[in-house]
Amino acid sequence: MAARGKVLIVDDDESMRIGCAQTLEAGGFAVTLAANGEEALEKASRESFDAALLDLRMPGLPGLEVLRLLKRDSPNLMVIVITGYATIESAVEAIQRGAYNYLPKPFTPEALVAIVRKAAATGRRTLEDACVRRELERQMLSNEIIGRSEAMSKVLRLIQKAAPTDSTVLITGETGSGKEVVARAIHRLSPRSAKAFVTVDCGTLVETLFETELFGHVKGAFSGAVESTTGKIELADGGTLFLDEMANIGIQMQARLLRVVQEREISRVGSAQKRKVDVRILSATNRDLPQAVRDGSFREDLFYRLNVIHVPVPPLRDRIEDIPELVAHYVAKLAAQRRRPVPGVSEEAMRFLKRHEWPGNVRELINALEYAVVTAEGDSIGLGDLPYSAEASSHLNLLEGSPAEDGHLARIEQSEILRVLQQFGGNRTKAAEFLGINRKTLREKIRKYDLKPRD
């Protein structure tokens, strides 16, 4: 019969260890013994347990420190502390530090088996819940954050680390790279996910309206204030406030925002009454904030308050291997929105999509695909269906073997090949794959133009 669970018994009293072990083994548990904290930690590092019995009073490493280290390395381990009545306060402290429960001496075999059985069941359920939660997070992120390149894997890891905390997060990246998508993912994976996610577009608000938008105002605060309004910060109370393109905030407003970040306290325009707010702040910018600090256009103290966790979102050109997956996802989504069959994408069109610079990043790619989905007449998106058809045709002719005449087209071809070779550090296999040609064609063109990539 399978054991009901694995239990680690940690006690310097040999008779107590053996007695507890015999009782629990008779109750169907698999038992491992440790005579001190160091031995317990060593055994816990080599195998997993559903529950642990821990004596708080042992020579050597203190019981509370053993508890801390056990919970640090095995958060789902249910630790039951054993204590005499004289040390009941220590048991209460242990629970505050993460222990599951305590068992006062003397105790009966029935009481021991009952509490361990309940702890082991709780531990297994907690572990199962954690596994389910991680799988749901993985599925959610895979739907929201498209791409499995190394660059995006780093972003995913940062999201998963940042989400459970209440730390402020600064998300940086070029226009259209997906900063708001990252912010929403952090919110949806956080303990605040059931509360509001409130966005403030700092790039579109004029300075005179920004204060009212952020803090709200009371009736009569200024001409035209016929009634009181609630600001975005109050609307986000209990949830998340996302300041998009926050580098556009003026210096005076930065001072007020700093107080919000530090004190979590606001007052509406026209009112001296202060209100406490429970809000997590995420911010994003496409500007170089350290340079803005050096220029004096952004407060250094606010920068450090907002930049507790930094999530840099890579531009699309730095994750070209994600383009096929992005194209497949958005073509299907755009076709569904228009209630039409999902078109395929020709090899020629995909080659060009992987070569285009995408200065507008993912947003530009989506716009191009929307154009193609709407205008394509066949069951596949071809080169001519893309909004860059003239540019695409030139590149296709140049790189697929059509002879490039001396002059402008030849210079374009040379420049493109040289750029890609430099991008891949001279690796011709990767360069040829990226350009959509075979290595033989690439080798011939390198020889023809006598191309030597710069370091």
Distance CA 389, CA 223 (A): 53
Which domain CATH number covers 54? 3.40.50.2300
Q: According to the model, what pLDDT value does residue 286 have?
A: 94
Cα–Cα distances in Å, from 36 out to 7, 10, 23, 71, 102?
A: 15, 6, 20, 16, 18
Distance CA 327, CA 381 (A): 11
Based on the fold, state whether residues 200 and 113 are members of the same structural domain.
no
In contact, 314 and 352? CB cutoff 8 Å? no
Tell me which H or E stretch contains 53. strand 51-55
Q: According to the model, what pLDDT value does residue 436 have?
A: 64
Q: Which long-range contacts (CB under 8 A, 24 or more apart) does 131-139 make?
A: 137/189
Full domain range(s) for residue 363? 318-394
Kindly state whether residue 135 falls inside one of the protein's structural domains.
Answer: no
Q: In degrees to the nearest 10, what's the CA dihedral of 405, 409, 413, 415?
A: 130
Based on the fold, state whether residues 294 and 424 are members of the same structural domain.
no
Based on the fold, state whether residues 224 and 287 are members of the same structural domain.
yes
Based on the fold, state whether residues 406 and 382 are members of the same structural domain.
no
How many distinct structural domains can be found in the chain?
4
Which domain CATH number covers 356? 1.10.8.60
Kindly state whether residue 444 falls inside one of the protein's structural domains.
Answer: yes
User: pLDDT digits over 105-142, tens only?
Assistant: 888 999 999 999 999 888 887 777 666 556 656 666 66
pLDDT < 50 positions in the chain: 1-2, 86, 398-406, 408, 455
Of the candidates 64, 73, 14, 15, the one whose C-alpha atom is nearest the C-alpha of residue 41 is 73
Residue finishing a domain among 287, 314, 341: 314
Which domain CATH number covers 438? 1.10.10.60
Kindly state whether residue 138 falls inside one of the protein's structural domains.
Answer: no
Q: According to the model, what pLDDT value does residue 134 have?
A: 64
Based on the fold, state whether residues 83 and 37 are members of the same structural domain.
yes
Kindly state whether residue 413 falls inside one of the protein's structural domains.
Answer: yes
Based on the fold, state whether residues 351 and 237 are members of the same structural domain.
no
Kindly state whether residue 141 falls inside one of the protein's structural domains.
Answer: no
Based on the fold, state whether residues 244 and 297 are members of the same structural domain.
yes
Which domain CATH number covers 179? 3.40.50.300
Based on the fold, state whether residues 355 and 408 are members of the same structural domain.
no
Based on the fold, state whether residues 11 and 114 are members of the same structural domain.
yes
Secondary structure (3-state) at 10:
strand
Residue 403 makes CB contacts below 8 A (sequence gap 6+) with none
Kindly state whether residue 155 falls inside one of the protein's structural domains.
Answer: yes
Q: In degrees to the nearest 10, what's the CA dihedral of 326, 329, 333, 339?
A: 120
Residue finishing a domain among 314, 330, 352: 314
Kindly state whether residue 21 falls inside one of the protein's structural domains.
Answer: yes
Based on the fold, state whether residues 241 and 309 are members of the same structural domain.
yes
Based on the fold, state whether residues 175 and 255 are members of the same structural domain.
yes
Kindly state whether residue 136 falls inside one of the protein's structural domains.
Answer: no
Residue finishing a domain among 261, 284, 314: 314
Based on the fold, state whether residues 292 and 405 are members of the same structural domain.
no
